[in-house]
Amino acid sequence: MALQLGDIAPDFEADTTEGHIRFHEWLGNSWGVLFSHPKDFTPVCTTELGYTARLKPEFDKRGVKVIGLSVDPLDAHRQWSKDIEETQGTAPNFPMIADSDREIASLYGMIHPNASDTLTVRSAFIIGPDKKIKLSINYPASTGRNFDEIVRVIDSLQLTAKHQVATPVNWKAGEDVIIVPSVSDEDARKKYPGGWKALKPYLRIVSQPKS
């Protein structure tokens, strides 16, 4: 069965551009993003990896470790990194897994045989410090992902892990949030003495709590 939200992200060992890792040990207590790309030396993937490398300060700020994967070998990853630096301005500054035997791709359901029976689709998983899968997405090979959206989801997840709030449509860090229905008005009054705006009893909007 496909991995689902709330499942433990399967552990694995892998050879990466930054050495051999045991995934859970490598994650430690950090949040993680594990993402696959279909193939080295391809145009969309080149832009995705360059952009993700440029986002490193944003991931670092949020305590998130990023790791890429494709079914290509390490020497291809290393050669291709030079092209990424040349064309995108930044070489990958995170490990890239060489999953030539497709073991990890199969474990994570990254190969969708009706799309391609040899290459991974564009999967991404956000993994919490508890090693549970908090988000999973699958995009087709022809569509580059929006990594700003991945950062936005991390902001929402980290906020909701700390406070009993949810984030509304198109929310961005700093904007108003929603008090979750499981919090009674009585408890909400203690948490938010400044009050909130109730558009409906179940739709209570409040300023984003300070972290």
Residue in 9, 33, 44, 45 annotated catalytic: 45
Stretch that binds ligand BEZ, among 37-45, 99-107, 129-137, 167-175 (CB under 6 A): 37-45
Q: Kindly state the smallest distance separating residue 69's Cβ from ligand BEZ, in Å.
A: 14
Neighbouring C-alpha atoms within 13 Å toward the C-beta of 12: 18
By CB under 6 A, name the one of 44, 96, 165, 188 that touches ligand BEZ: 44
Decide: is 38 part of the binding site for ligand BEZ (CB under 6 A).
yes
By CB under 6 A, name the one of 141, 166, 180, 198 that touches ligand BEZ: 141
Q: Kindly state the smallest distance separating residue 162's Cβ from ligand BEZ, in Å.
A: 36
Q: What long-range pairs does 145-148 form, CB within 8 A, spacing at least 24?
A: 145/35, 145/48, 147/48, 147/51, 147/52, 147/55, 148/55
Helix residue ranges, H only, 28-181: 43-54, 56-61, 74-88, 103-107, 147-162
Nearer to ligand BEZ, 24 or 39 (CB): 39
**Total site size for ligand BEZ, rule CB under 6 A:** 8
Decide: is 43 part of the binding site for ligand BEZ (CB under 6 A).
yes
Decide: is 112 part of the binding site for ligand BEZ (CB under 6 A).
no
Residue 34: burial class (beta carbons within 10 Å; 0-12, 13-18, 19+): buried
Q: Kindly state the smallest distance separating residue 48's Cβ from ligand BEZ, in Å.
A: 7
Report the distance separating Cα 32 and Cα 125, nearest Å.
8
Decide: is 138 part of the binding site for ligand BEZ (CB under 6 A).
no
Stretch that binds ligand BEZ, among 7-15, 43-51, 94-102, 173-181 (CB under 6 A): 43-51
Per-residue b or e along 144-182, where b marks 16 or more CB atoms closer than 10 Å to that residue's CB: bbebeebbbbbbbbbbbeebebebeeebeeeeebbbeee
Q: Kindly state the smallest distance separating residue 116's Cβ from ligand BEZ, in Å.
A: 8
DSSP conformational letter for 122? E
Catalytic center residues: 45
Interacting residues with ligand BEZ (CB under 6 A): 38-39, 42-45, 141-142
